[in-house]
A and B are shown apart, each in its own frame.
Chain A
Amino acid sequence: MAILEEPIKEVLELENYIDGEWVKSESKEVLDVVNPATQKVLARVPMSTGEEVNRAIESAAEAFPEWRRTTPLARVRCLFRLKELLEDNFEELSRVQTVEHGKTIDESRGETRRGIEMVEVGTGIPSLMMGKNLEDIATSIDEFLIYQPLGVFTHIAPFNFPFMVPLWFSPFALATGNTFVVKPSPRDPISQLKLAEFIDEAGFPPGVYNLVHGHSDAAQVLMTHPDVKGVTFVGSTAVGKEIFKTCGTHLKRSIVQTSAKNCLVVFPDANQDATIPALMTSFFGNTGQRCLSGANLVIVGDDDSFYRNFRDAFLDATTKIRVGYGLDESIQMGPMQSPDGIERVNRYIEIGIKEGAKLVLDGRKPTIIGDYPDTCFINASVFDEVTPDMTIAKEEIFGPVANIIRTRDLDETINMMNKSNFGNAASIFTSNGKLARNFRYNVECGNIGVNIGIVAPMAFFPFSGMKDSFYGVLHGQGGDAVRFFTESKVVVERWF
């Protein structure tokens, strides 16, 4: 059992990054950033004042005209340098995620890789941002479509992917010629601070990228300041709805990616050996704290023996998950990010029991590998005999809890799934192409998987979502992000 070296040796005093300078906040309100596995304090993060957030936005607004005029090639050269720095510091960045969030080192490295992929796609902007034209739309008249940057964009980040999620947006915003202000989650802000250090080193001009720490007060300023053209947010549906409304009221464009209740649907003809590890990753990876996590395991068909065998195989694999400190290379599931998460999971488990679901695996009293305080640790839990009307089948638990639901056939399954308020992700496990096609065609979710545990779109595709899992028109990542961060200008031209 190898425990990797911790990347943070002393308690850090976090600062804001405004106009190319590291600035100490004048705020008296400071929160501790705590390693959820060891409960050691890693850093102290200030809750910036409104004035400080204003300064960050104003700095971004001042930097915009010159950054916009910077050639796309020169802009992406900054991204190329950033990519190099991220590659050179890959392991440190990954370990920071593990200590501040709790996820396993494999998960953190995966998050780092996916973050870097966003930067890589952003470097394609000279091609991706190209407009269109057509000659002779009328005699001797030509028409052009030009994509232009708008100005300042902001991002309000969640805690569950402290490094990657802001990168769903920032490389695209910067490459298209906009400027950016990010507010990391105060629970795990160090990854974004590291990123800002590398952005500084990569040579982005002062003010182009800014970072301010803070909580909801800071977020309010980031949504309402007159210089802000658009807002990006990833978090819960409850908060997302308010953000979407606020952005609408203040006439800002927005991408608001929110909660989920994802079904993973297993047919008897699925490849069981390959399906079980995919389900483990989906339900319990990142300790269930992600919007693409499996939540309901739907086992389809009348075959009782398949149902029992598959359920038992799922339970057996779940029971064997090694829970502990994510820097221990053997660990498969880390702690929850905070004690709040444990409380939420426990509350839903109580509700599940009360509503008649059968708790066949109770993870509330955790077995932990290694000697760590149990403050944030929990083992995986599994409910059997869950029905679609139960609260635990409908609401997002955001923790390592799997609900087993049984359905007769695909029609019943899709019907049940489409009644959900959420539409983030769904996956089918089968070797039958017709079933898979039917599923893909009819399920009302933004991200569909066929024999995939976590339906995570790559950087060059939009991170989709529907219903209460997404508010907006264009999504983060890929071509959608390029369109979101640009305005279409049409030119109709005639020369006499």
Chain B
Amino acid sequence: MTEIINTCSEAISLARELEKGSAEFYKNLAERTADNKDLFLSFAEENEKYVKQIERAYYGVISDALEGCFAFSLNPEDHSLETGLAENATFAEAIQCAMKIEEKIIEFYNVAAEQSKSLMADVPRAFRLVVKKRNKRQSTLRSLAGDKNYT
């Protein structure tokens, strides 16, 4: 049985894990596509930046006086990512996979932001900032998916 995540520390670790998994996916994708290599590597780099932003927010406001151990109710299974890419996957399939990853991560941050409202503004704001940036990334992915030259 999967344990529900209640503590900040574990929620931040899950965010870290998701960003890492997604970064690995983009690094893998970059190796396969010469045309968009730099773009996908920049996504992976951005992920690291997001982790730092979230950690900074968490370490900046965590207080023994806040509900740090009782702030979340997250089921990790709801937020697991499919980051594997079949050897023979087409570019279009890879982009579909990337879009699903982005959707899942955005969903995680939205849920986590809503649940962590009690942790002062900083932590949910950091989550929402990542969502905002990911929305832009989704637009980029959508445009790639529609570009026939890349199939």
Instruction: Identify the A interface with B (CB < 8 A).
Output: 1-2, 90, 103-107, 109-111, 113-114, 161, 164, 274, 277-278, 280-281, 285-286, 290, 292, 317, 322, 329-333, 452-456
Contact = CB atoms under 8 A, between A and B. Distances in A.
B70 A332 contact: yes
B64 A114 contact: yes
Most B CB contacts (10 A, CB to CB) among A285, A290, A317 go to A285
Q: SS class of chain B's interface: helix, strand, loop or mixed?
A: loop
Contact of A2 (B13, B62, B70): B13
Contacts of A90: 59
B61 interface: yes
Contacts of B9: 104-106, 109, 329
B64 A110 contact: yes
B85 interface: no
B120 to A, nearest CB: 11
Contacts of B65: 110, 114, 281, 292, 452-456
Given A281-B68, A456-B65, 14 more contacts: A104-B68, A110-B62, A110-B65, A110-B66, A113-B63, A278-B118, A281-B65, A322-B6, A329-B9, A330-B7, A330-B10, A453-B67, A454-B64, A456-B63
Given A2-B10, A277-B71, A113 B66 contact: no
B121 interface: no
Interface residues of B, number: 22
A292 B63 CA distance: 13
B58 to A, nearest CB: 8
Contacts, number: 90
A113 B63 CA distance: 6
A317 B60 CA distance: 27
A274 B63 CA distance: 17
A281 B67 contact: yes
B69 A333 contact: yes
Nearest to A334: B69
B64 A286 contact: yes
A267 B114 CA distance: 25
Contact of B69 (A2, A107, A114, A455): A107
Contacts of B68: 104, 106-107, 109-110, 281
A105 B59 CA distance: 12
B122 to A, nearest CB: 12
16 contacts: A104-B7, A106-B62, A106-B69, A107-B69, A110-B68, A113-B59, A114-B64, A114-B65, A164-B64, A278-B67, A280-B67, A280-B70, A281-B67, A330-B5, A332-B69, A456-B64
B13 A104 contact: no
B8 to A, nearest CB: 5
Contacts of A104: 7, 9, 68-69
A281 B66 contact: yes
Nearest to A330: B10
Nearest to A4: B9
Contacts of A278: 67, 118
Nearest to B6: A332
Nearest to B9: A329
Contacts of B70: 277, 280-281, 317, 332
A277 B7 CA distance: 11
Contacts of B78: none
Interface in B23-80: 59-71
B10 A107 contact: no
